[in-house]
Amino acid sequence: MAHHRGSHGAHPSTAVLTRGFDPRLSVGSARPAVFRSSTYVFASPEAAERAFDLVSGRVQPEPGEVPDLIYSRFNHPNAEILEDQIIPLEEGAEWSIAFNSGMAAIMTTLLAILRPGDAVVYTVPLYGGTQNLIHELLEPLGMVCRPVVAGHSAEIDEAIRSTPNLKAVFIETPANPTMVMTDIKRAALTAAQLDPKPVVMVDNTFLGPAFQHPFPLGADLVLYSATKYLGGFSDLLAGVVLGFSPELNRAIRGRRGLFGNILQPDECWILDGRLPTVSLRMNRQSKNAQRIAESLVHRPEIRKVFYPTLFDDPEQIRIRLSQCDYPGAMIALDLHGGKPAAFEFLRQIRLAHNAVSLGGMETLVCHPASTTHSGCSAKEKEIAGITEGLVRISVGVEDWRDLLRDFEQALEHVAVAAAPSAE
């Protein structure tokens, strides 16, 4: 089934609405139908044979040939529609593959690229699930996984040059929760000097697809937890991988068919409907966050506000200006008074909710040291800048003045709780 319409060259906000869905294939419906069938009827036994030859990779499609659908573990119309419509949001992408979570996308991609004995260099801190995937699955399988500290460009270059059998470079930028940035272009240039060239993959969940575009910087693959900004409403789990190399597309898609971790039709349909507003939502969230972060910076209860427009390291400022359009909607506050202060802050917030995850319409606040990063060793927390007083905020689309007032009143409680009590 071909869902393409000729709108290549349009801007992302146009193309996301005009590419990849043909209403004629959904009885004229302006929005796609949901195709919940698990299996598809063949036009002929010859068509079935051809479809299996294509999906197994035994033969390559003729130019313009669109493989017939077979069975929904391999592919289904709502995945095709979603995958076509998401492509224009990521400049330089030629294809995308939808998964039933961000972790499924990351795992499937790494297992499509790495064999036992192969190496991957990865930035730390890393999303906790990805870190566990490395320690609990990849390393026991015999893959060599080498951490490098996010933002340390020279150290990253050195690791890329000196790691034998290097097949992948995994970059998560900005790093969670302190927003430390890694120079994608520099790492990609260093990787490009190797033969064979390792696959440079970027987890773009925090600033993409609106504010950070890894392909023009030299990345080979872009990965998302679509559970976050792409989904945008904290009501579904999904993941996406985008790329341009036909070989990587085949390899990752083949693994997805094997594992069965394709995103289900209903979730594809929901996520597809969220794509046209991702840039609107992220813009509002980023503006809110910037106003809040810059208003809180001199509060006496706060040791440091971590936010891209408040960076003080010249190298971090340079990376931000060269690779991000806007600062995004994640803030971390390091409170004087450690864990008691952070917990008091969480108890006192009234509009924001105490929850992990991010990217939704509603503002969420968490204490990384005891939740998202509780699996990290003391050393890992130190490298990541995760102190006991740190709270992470995912700013939503509420009015920023109400959120600021909420955080200020919570900080006043923190100050009172910390004051020495009169004897």
**Closer of 285 and 406 to ligand PLP (Cβ):** 285
129 binds ligand PLP (CB under 6 A): yes
CB of 384 to ligand PLP, least distance (A): 13
CB of 238 to ligand PLP, least distance (A): 7
Q: What's the burial of 60, exposed, middle or buried (CB within 10 Å: 0-12/13-18/19+)?
A: exposed
**Closer of 163 and 225 to ligand PLP (Cβ):** 225
**Closer of 32 and 239 to ligand PLP (Cβ):** 239
Q: What are phi and psi of 411, to 5 degrees?
A: -65, -35
217 binds ligand PLP (CB under 6 A): no
Which of 225, 249, 264, 285 binds ligand PLP (CB under 6 A)? It is 225
Residues forming a β-bridge with 202:
171, 222
CA nearest 77: which of 36, 17, 130, 28?
36
Which of 19, 50, 213, 228 binds ligand PLP (CB under 6 A)? It is 228
212 binds ligand PLP (CB under 6 A): no
Which of 77, 102, 232, 337 binds ligand PLP (CB under 6 A)? It is 102
CA nearest 236: which of 137, 135, 357?
357
202 binds ligand PLP (CB under 6 A): no
Report whether 71 contacts 40 (CB < 8 A): yes
125 binds ligand PLP (CB under 6 A): no
CB of 218 to ligand PLP, least distance (A): 20
Binding mask 130-149 for ligand PLP (x = CB under 6 A): x-------------------
CB of 101 to ligand PLP, least distance (A): 3
Which of 16, 103, 333, 386 binds ligand PLP (CB under 6 A)? It is 103
Q: What is the Cα–Cα distance from 378 to 229, expressed in whole angstroms?
A: 30
323 binds ligand PLP (CB under 6 A): no
98 binds ligand PLP (CB under 6 A): no
363 binds ligand PLP (CB under 6 A): no
178 binds ligand PLP (CB under 6 A): no
**Closer of 227 and 316 to ligand PLP (Cβ):** 227
Q: Which stretch binds ligand PLP (CB under 6 A): 15-23, 122-130, 244-252, 266-274?
A: 122-130
174 binds ligand PLP (CB under 6 A): no
Report whether 119 contacts 55 (CB < 8 A): no
Which of 21, 35, 74, 127 binds ligand PLP (CB under 6 A)? It is 127
* Strand 239-243 versus strand 95-99 pairing type: antiparallel
**Closer of 51 and 148 to ligand PLP (Cβ):** 148
Radius of gyration for the chain, computed over Cα atoms and rounded to the nearest angstrom: 23
Size of the site for ligand PLP (CB under 6 A): 15
Q: Which stretch binds ligand PLP (CB under 6 A): 77-85, 127-135, 180-188, 327-335?
A: 127-135
**Closer of 103 and 305 to ligand PLP (Cβ):** 103
Give residues in contact with ligand PLP (CB under 6 A): 101-103, 127, 129-130, 172, 176, 203, 205, 225, 227-228, 237, 239
